Amino acid sequence: MSLKDNRILVVGGSSGIGFGVAQAALARGAQVTIASRSAQKIEDACKRLGGNVSGVTLDTGDAAALEAFFAEREAWEHVYCSAASTKVAAVKELPLEDAQASFESKFWGAYRLARAAKIGHGGSLTFTSGFLSQRPKAGAAIQGAINAGLEGLTRGLALEFAPVRVNCISPGLVKTEMYETLEGDSRRAMFDNAADHLPAGRVGLPEHIAIQALALMDNPYMTGTTVFVEGGGLLV
């Protein structure tokens, strides 16, 4: 089992978890393409990644563009998706259009990607959900519902797409750029408080999620599975 020279597409690979997956795949000798809606973010990410990487502007909200993209290219060995733009608030506080847009981005974006993706025999497709699917909290019902939907989609597609394998990674709190809008002290306090309460004694980093992402690509006996990488957050 090796990812050397495998063609891997990371959708959402310009930042956060996707960037970590791309970086780890490059270190394993894969030929990596990162995709994002922002051409500037793609350019910046490719410069930071270096190596055998290329970038493409791609929007999971555009079904026609996705279909055209895959039609023009040979099948990929592996596709990883972390692309999403969501808003979180209590149900009665979150505007309905924002709730719908969040589902449209994370769930339907993954659905459209899966529908269009061209993946070779025995290859894999991996989604990113989040552990709120299993451990909901007040004020984040929409996020838990979206994540649960993705995990259900994973199981169904594993049957429909076989022998292509379909899996899902469900992270806990991970330090990514999405928290940069918080003031420095607030961000630090949030991470420190989470680390104190987690059995693992730390919050996640993109590279921790990437370890599991590459394991799912590597392992031909894994499909239809959601793997929780959350520092023991489901236990407390």
| Per-position DSSP letters for 13-63, written without gaps between them | TTSHHHHHHHHHHHHTT-EEEEEES-HHHHHHHHHHH-SSEEEEE--TT-H
User: Whole-model pTM?
Assistant: 0.94
pLDDT of residue 184: 67
Q: DSSP string of 148-208? A: HHHHHHHHHHHHHHTTSEEEEEEE-SB--GGGTTS-HHHHHHHHHHHHHHSTTSS-B-HHH
pLDDT of residue 89: 94
Q: Does domain 7-235 fall into CATH 2.60.120.510?
A: no
171-190: average pLDDT: 79
pLDDT at residue 177 greater than cutoff 90:
no
Q: How far apart (Å, rounded) are the C-alpha atoms in residues 96 and 78? A: 35
pLDDT of residue 180: 66
- State the residue for tokens 């370890």: 211
Q: What percent of the chain has pLDDT over 90?
A: 89
Q: Cα angle vertex 227, ends 60, 201, to 5°?
A: 110
pLDDT at residue 33 greater than cutoff 80:
yes
Tokens of 212: 């599991």
User: For residue 24, what are the contacts with CB-CB under 8 A and spacing of at least 6?
Assistant: 207, 210, 211, 213, 214
pLDDT at residue 187 greater than cutoff 80:
no
Tokens of 2: 């090796």
pLDDT tens digit sequence for 86-117: 999 999 999 999 999 999 999 999 999 999 99
Tokens of 46: 């490719």
Taking residue 63's Cβ as centre, other Cβ atoms within 10 Å add up to: 16
Angle 206-218/16-27 helices, nearest 10 degrees? Answer: 60
pLDDT of residue 130: 96
pLDDT of residue 191: 86
